[in-house]
Amino acid sequence: MLWGSVTPVERHDAWYALGERLAGSVLVRFSGAWWKQRQWPDVLGCALRFTRASEPSTEAATGDQDLLLATIRIPATTLLAPLTTHVDDYLRNAYFGVSPFTDPELGRIKLRLVADHSGPHAESRTASLAMAIARQPVRMRLEAREAKAKALYHSVAEIELSERVMLDQEQLSFDPYRTGRGLSPAGFVHAMRIPVYSASRRARKLVTG
């Protein structure tokens, strides 16, 4: 788990308001979809929790926003995504919202997260990420665009990940429908996540008691 800060990108248009709403602290978890240890072809994910908390916690607070992104550009490319994902380095990939989100001011938008630099060469992507954080803060950009085809991405927020934190993974649950900053999942693909995450939470409770 990584902990850091979120700063809106100074702009003179409607996109600045989105970055401003997301400003504060952020808790980030990178993960693989299928292989947890092996670096075989896979889809990688990045879960973010935007919060105003001063310290990392497994408990979500009122007003928190979760975003679950993956190395899948659009639903139609799901099967091809493992072939285009750089499984050896979390920071060498772009992470997408896959389907659109609805913003109260901007309407239907799409999201993308990219790092300023790839990670150092290491024996695994986890080690590479740890080395990157140890050397200097990892900087990433959250970008957004209109959902219509061929629209351009705009940088809306700078994310600086400055430290690794140890939290109980069994107690931590990211929810794509935690929308405290106003970004709401839209479309069929997002709706499919509801029963999946509900089942995941029930299973976690059974395991942890």
Question: Taking residues 145-158, what's their average pLDDT?
Answer: 95
Q: Is the pLDDT of residue 155 over 50?
A: yes
Rounded Cα distance between 91 and 120, Å, is 9
Rounded Cα distance between 158 and 132, Å, is 17
Rounded Cα distance between 149 and 183, Å, is 20
Q: Is the pLDDT of residue 208 over 50?
A: no
In sequence order, the β-bridge partners of residue 32 are 44
First to last CA, the chain: 23
Residue among 43, 33, 30, 128 at smallest CA distance from 86: 43
Q: Note whether 35 and 82 are within 8 A (CB).
A: no
Give the chain's domain count.
1
Tens digit of pLDDT for each residue in 19-61?
Answer: 999 999 999 999 998 887 789 999 999 999 999 999 999 999 9
pTM here is: 0.89
Decide which of 204 and 130 is more confident.
130
**Residue at token pair 């072809």:** 41
How many residues belong to the chain? Answer: 209
Rounded Cα distance between 83 and 87, Å, is 9
In this predicted structure, what is the pLDDT of residue 205?
A: 52
SS3 at position 94: coil
Residue among 2, 6, 24 at smallest CA distance from 156: 6
Q: Is the pLDDT of residue 196 over 80?
A: no
Tens digit of pLDDT for each residue in 77-87?
Answer: 999 999 999 99
- Whichever domain contains 134, its CATH number is 2.40.180.10
CB atoms within 10 A of CB 179: 17
Question: Taking residues 162-182, what's their average pLDDT?
Answer: 94
Q: Is the pLDDT of residue 175 over 80?
A: yes
User: What confidence category does residue 189 fall into, taking pLDDT thresholds of 50, 70 and 90?
Assistant: low
| Full domain range(s) for residue 20 | 2-208
**Residue at token pair 């994902």:** 85
